[in-house]
Amino acid sequence: MSRYQRLLQTFVGLLVLSIGSVLVTNLFISSQRALPLVITFPVIIAGATLSGRRTSSLGITRSERQIVLSPIGHFFFASAILLPPFALPIVAFVIPAERTSPSGWLIRFQRLLTMNTSSLVFWLVVHSHPLNGGLTDRQVLAFVLAITTHLLVDSLIVSVVMSLASQKPVLVTAHWNLKSLLREFAEISIGCIGAIFAIINPLLLLIVIGPCCLAVDHLRVNQSAQLGKRDTRTGLLNSFGLQEFVDHEFERAKRHSAEMCLVVLDLDFLRDVNNNYGHQIGDLAINSVAKQISALTRAIDGTARVGGEEFVVVLSDTNLEGASIVADRIRSEIEELKLATNSGILRITISAGVALRHDNETYSDLFDRADAALYASKRLGRNRVSLADEFVETFHANQINTN
C-alpha cells in the first residue's frame, strides 16, 4: 500500500470519526452556555483568524518552532468549553489552516475531533453542576480532565498520521516527547484560563490579553530567528538550519533506534546553463529544483541547499528503499520540467546519492557516503540515483567534472 493510499484511509477515518463525534456531542451535551453565543462565537473566530494571520509561519514548520506557543491553539480549547456543540464544526472549518489541501482538511478534522472529545468529557463531568460564576472542585476536575483529553487526542491523531506516512509505530513518532507535550499543554492552558475567566466575569479576559500577546510576540521573534536559518533564494534550510535539524533528528533517531537516510542531489551542467542562457535562467533552474524537492518531501523531512547547485534531504523514519524511491521521484519530476527561455525550452536534470545512516554514524560520515554515491551517479552519466555502500570511496570535486 502506497503512502498516499494510507493517507487517504486516514482522511476517510478522520472524516467518519468527526461525523460521529458531532452526532454524539449534539446528542448528549446541552447547548446551554454561561455566555451568549452572539458574544463568544464571533470573538473566537475573529481572534483565532487574526492571530493566525499576524503570525504567519513564513514557511517554518511546527517542529522548528520548538517550544514556542502556537498562535491559535488555545482558541480551540476555549471553543470546546464556551461554545455549544453545533458551533464547533464551524470553528474547525472556518478558521484557516496553515497548510493547503489535502493536509488542510486533515488539520480541520483533527481540530473538530479534538474539540468534540474534550467538550464531551468536560460537560459530562459538570452535567449536574452548572457553571454560574464560581468554580467547585468538581468543575476544576472537569477542566483538568478536558485538558488531558484534548492533549492526548490531539497528539494521538498527529502521531497516527505521522506513523502511517513513515510506517513506524505510533509511539515512536517525534510528537511523543516531553518538549512537544509541554508545548501543547502550555497552549491548552492559555485557552483554559481564558475560558475560566470568561465564565467568572468576561471583563477578566482583559487579563488574558497580555499573556496571549506575549505568546504571539514570542512566536514572531522566533520566526525572525528561523528565517536566518533559511536560504534566501529558495526558502530551504541553509547550512545553519540544516545543522540544527540534523542535531535534533540524530538525537531522536538514537533515542528511538529509528532509521534515517540522507539524499544528496546536484543539478547537472549548471555551468553550461549559466554560460548559454545567463545566470538569471540558472537561478530559475535552482528555484525550480528547490520547489520540486519541497513538493515531493514530507513536512517532517529536512530539505536544504548546501551549495550553489547542491541540495540535501534528510529523511527521518525512512529505510534505504523508501529513500531511493523519494530520490528517484524527485529526479524524474525534475526531468519533466520545461523552463521557458528566450532561446527556447530548457530541460534540466539532477543526479543523486542516497545513504542509510548506520548506528552511531555522524552526519559528516553519512554525508561523505551519500556524496560518494552522488559522484558515482555523475560518473555513470548523470540523471540517475546511486546508493552508497561501505566500499564506495569518496570522490573529490577535482577528480571529476561535477557541473
Q: Please calculate the CA angle 75-80-86 and round it to the nearest 5 degrees.
A: 115
Residue 318 dihedral angles phi and psi, to the nearest 5°: -135, 135
Residue 92 to residue 109: CA distance in whole angstroms: 7
Give the pLDDT of residue 89.
92
Residue 122 to residue 150: CA distance in whole angstroms: 10
Task: Determine whether domain 239-387 maps to CATH 3.30.70.270.
Answer: yes
Q: Tens-digit pLDDT profile for the chain (403 aa)?
A: 565 666 677 778 878 888 888 898 888 888 878 788 888 888 888 878 776 654 433 333 434 333 334 557 788 999 999 999 999 999 988 888 765 556 677 788 888 999 999 999 999 888 766 666 567 888 889 999 999 999 888 888 877 766 665 555 555 454 566 766 777 788 788 888 888 888 887 777 777 666 666 665 655 545 555 556 788 888 898 888 888 889 888 888 887 778 899 999 999 999 888 888 888 999 999 999 999 998 888 878 899 999 889 999 999 888 999 999 999 999 999 999 989 888 889 999 999 999 999 988 999 999 999 999 999 999 999 999 999 974 444 443 334 444 4
DSSP state of 230: B
- Is residue 269 within 8 Å of 350, Cβ to Cβ? no
Residue 331 to residue 354: CA distance in whole angstroms: 12
Give the pLDDT of residue 289.
93
Give the pLDDT of residue 295.
87
Give the pLDDT of residue 107.
81
Residue 330 to residue 351: CA distance in whole angstroms: 10
Q: What count of other Cβ atoms lies within 10 Å of the Cβ of residue 215?
A: 21
pTM for the structure as a whole: 0.55
User: Residues near 184 by Cβ (< 8 Å), separated by ≥ 6?
Assistant: 73, 151, 154, 155
Residue 377 to residue 361: CA distance in whole angstroms: 23
* Residue at grid coordinates 504567519: 56
Helix 178-200 / helix 205-227 crossing angle, nearest 10 deg: 150
Give the pLDDT of residue 131.
65
Give the pLDDT of residue 372.
93
Q: Where are the domains of the chain?
A: 3-227, 239-387
